[in-house]
Amino acid sequence: MIDDLRKDFSLPRRKRNRATPGAESQATLRAVDGISLRAAPGKVTALLGANGAGKSTTLSCAQGLLKPTAGRVRLLGEDPWRAGPSLRARVGIMLQEGGLPQAIRPIPLLRHVASMYRKPADVDALVSRLGIDGFDRTNIRRLSGGQRQRVALAAALVGDPEVLFLDEPSAGLDPQSRHVVFDLVREVKESGTCIVLTTHLMDDAQRLADDVYIVDEGRNVVEGQVDDLLNNSQDRKTLRFAVSRRGMQLLDVFPAPLAEGLTLREEHAGSYEISGPIRPEHLSHLAGTWAELGELPTSLELKPRSLEDLFLDISGRTIR
């Protein structure tokens, strides 16, 4: 549970303070500015946001790795910043950078980690499930990014945690590994573990998460159950199509006035997206226009709005 979390980072300012020559004044960066969230047992809670939105900082405060500037954090009822080893033993953490020792092979590392817990998970089962035995002759330093991710996940699960934090769990995974990792995460959730994850991949969030929090510039902007968020926008659809005539003006393709809350975007030359409450008349209008022009779209797709559409509406389509 996180209530009104704030985290400022002190940044050295290059400019010297004229009032006190020689002294370096400090500037602060507010990375998190009032985030609140709750993560329940037996659920996957996803924290989504653009690069630099404040997700990892929030997770680090929740894990007790960073001290919040203000606000309240409770992890299994305790303040994680002050908590001792008994709380840590109930929590599994998979960090974005891996955070693994480098000069050791994966299985000896996992056995060593397991030896620190009173009731560890079955290391052999985790190793074979995540295919770690296939690359155990290599030190962690030399593993590929995806292999290291799998070892990091196994290390986070080896203590059979009650709360599991996953920072970008599918980064660098090939499609097969991604399926295995997702199935494993679902099983862990069904066993009652509270899972909190961050991801940039909206597909992953849509497939894995029960609850989502979208953060932007350190603040919550949307929160809710994935199903509710998507159902609420059920009347909204996204139509994507491409036409072969390069350089064609958008209005030649869709001359109807953009009434009724439809938004229209040219993704790149000849490739368009219309979103909003699309009705059959709009499709027939488009088809009529194409028939007049003798144009057949090279692709055409009508989809319900996804978490990615929702996310892009909120955080914009340009890099900030």
Footprint on this chain of ligand ATP (rule: CB under 6 A): 9, 29, 31, 49, 51-57
**Shortest distance (Å) from residue 50 CB to ligand ATP:** 7
* Beta-carbon count within 10 A of 54 CB: 24
Q: Which is nearest to 42 in space by CA: 165, 160, 193?
A: 193
Q: Which is closer to ligand ATP, CB of 83 or CB of 171?
A: 171
- Is 112 buried (19+), middle (13-18) or exposed (0-12) by CB count in 10 A? middle
Q: Which is nearest to 130 in space by CA: 157, 110, 114, 151?
A: 151
| Cβ atoms of residues 5 and 73 within 8 Å | yes
* 254/281 Cα distance (integer angstroms): 12
Helix boundaries (H) for 54-144: 55-63, 85-88, 106-114, 123-129
**Shortest distance (Å) from residue 198 CB to ligand ATP:** 6
Angle of helix 106-114 versus helix 145-157 axis, rounded to 10: 20
Q: Which is closer to ligand ATP, CB of 3 or CB of 97?
A: 97
**Shortest distance (Å) from residue 80 CB to ligand ATP:** 16
Q: Which is closer to ligand ATP, CB of 53 or CB of 140?
A: 53
Q: Which is closer to ligand ATP, CB of 33 or CB of 160?
A: 33
**Shortest distance (Å) from residue 294 CB to ligand ATP:** 46
Q: Which is closer to ligand ATP, CB of 113 or CB of 156?
A: 156
* 216/76 Cα distance (integer angstroms): 26
**Shortest distance (Å) from residue 9 CB to ligand ATP:** 3
